[in-house]
Amino acid sequence: MKTQKLALLIVVIGLSASVYGQDYTFKVLANKGSNEVKIGGSWQPLKTGASLKKDDEIKLSDNSYIGLVHVSGRPVELKKSGNYKVSELEGQMGTGSSVLHKYTDFILSSNSAEAQKNRLSATGAVHRAVGGEAGIKLMLPEYQHSGIYNTQAVVNWDGSKVSGPYVVTLRNMFEEVLLKTETPETSYKIDLTDPLLAQENAILIEVSSKANPKEASKQYLIKKLSPADRKKVEDAFNEIKDQVSEESALSAYILAGFYEQNGLYIDAITAYEEAVKRAPDVPTFKESYEEFLLRNGLK
């Protein structure tokens, strides 16, 4: 009797485990754009592979896409921006087309509205974006790699299209100007320990032509790392600390690789600049710097 009860218990546990194993309605197969999911009461960025439950809600932003797989294994796409409740999406899944329906649809498809198309939808022309950020392109990464570990950042830009002098403007996240300075160079060093900047966690930088302020770069973000991220980098840095303690070009070069590996492109730029400055006659450092900029789409 005891054995039977034990067996029954195991079966019950097994069944409930399998039920909980499928404790989702959809999973995210593919995700394009900055989409979000509301879990509980808070909105979070949607990740590929995430499980969505009945109570969750998805927000699809403009020009975005989400591919989902239902627990039954059938895929579903979301293309139109807006909010979608997972429970409603599940309700729309249905049971799929029957074979008879498919055959009927196939035979009649040539007369369907889908088959009737406008004939002037395509043009013989291309869209051209505004000429490379109005002529001034800063060699800084996009928002996702805007974190900085050190306190100094070197910002370079291409001055071939717009000649100097230039105005460098630093703003806080409320777009209030923190610092405005002029320079005839195509490079500017930001010191985050400067009292004007020290209190800010994130800074927006923009460079414009002094002669024509309309000729301006787009705004780039430089963001101090969060304490947790900083700790992670610090721990990793401690492992290579001994190899880069010496103030040489090679140390700066190794550091550049370390920063790049950790996605800290702004620090990597500063390190590469330092390596080139310390050994201006060694072409390897210049070539590697160039490669780095091209590799990461910074140039």
Partner 1 sequence: MLSLPRFMRKFLISCFIITVLVFVFMWGISRITALQLFNAFDPIAQALSDFELTDYAFSYLRPDPRVDERIVLVNIGEIPRAGIAQQISIINKYKPRVIGIDGYFNCEGGLRDPENCPQLLDTLGNLLLANAIAEAGNVVLVSKLHQSMKSINSGVLDVYDSMEYSDPMFQEHADYGYANLVTEAQYQEDVKICRSFIPKIKVGDREELAFSVKVAMKYDSAATMELLNRGNEEEIINYRGNIEMQNVRIKSLKEKDLHTTNYPVMFYALDVHQVFNEEFEPEMIKDKIVLLGYLGKHFGDPSWTDKFFTPLNKKVSGRANPDMFGLVVHANIIAMILNQDYVDELKEWQTYAIAFILCFLNIALFTYINKKMPIWFDSLSLLIQIIQIFLLMGLTIWIFAELSFKLDLTLTLAAIALAGPIFEFCHNVLETFLARVWRKKLTRPKDEVLTTENSDVS
Q: Which pair of structure tokens corresponds to residue 132?
A: 């490379």
Q: Which is nearer to partner 1, 7 or 294 (CB)?
A: 294
Taking the complex as a whole, how short is the minimal distance between the CB of residue 89 and partner 1, in angstroms?
A: 14
Taking the complex as a whole, how short is the minimal distance between the CB of residue 137 and partner 1, in angstroms?
A: 18
What is the rounded CA–CA span in Å between residue 268 and residue 272? 6
What is the rounded CA–CA span in Å between residue 77 and residue 40? 23
Q: Which is nearer to partner 1, 185 or 287 (CB)?
A: 287
Taking the complex as a whole, how short is the minimal distance between the CB of residue 169 and partner 1, in angstroms?
A: 28
What is the rounded CA–CA span in Å between residue 142 and residue 133? 13
- Binding residues (CB under 8 A) for partner 1: these are 27, 29-32, 45, 47-51, 63, 65, 67, 69, 72-75, 77, 79-80, 96-97, 99, 102-103, 105-106, 109, 114, 121, 144, 257, 260-261, 263, 287-288, 291, 294-295
Please work out, in degrees rounded to the nearest 5, the angle formed at the alpha carbon of residue 250 by the alpha carbons of 248 and 256.
Answer: 110
How distant is the alpha carbon of residue 288 from its chain centre?
24
Q: Following CA atoms 30, 32, 34, 35 in sequence, which dihedral angle do they give, to the nearest 10 degrees? A: -40
CA atoms within 13 A on the CB side of 153: 28
Taking the complex as a whole, how short is the minimal distance between the CB of residue 88 and partner 1, in angstroms?
A: 18
The total of other beta-carbon atoms located within 10 Å of residue 222's CB is 21
Taking the complex as a whole, how short is the minimal distance between the CB of residue 8 and partner 1, in angstroms?
A: 31
Q: Which is nearer to partner 1, 41 or 96 (CB)?
A: 96
Q: Which is nearer to partner 1, 42 or 98 (CB)?
A: 98
What is the rounded CA–CA span in Å between residue 240 and residue 40? 42
Amino acid at 222: I
Q: Which is nearer to partner 1, 182 or 287 (CB)?
A: 287
Taking the complex as a whole, how short is the minimal distance between the CB of residue 120 and partner 1, in angstroms?
A: 13
Q: Which residue has the tokens 């969505």?
A: 52
Q: Which is nearer to partner 1, 109 or 181 (CB)?
A: 109
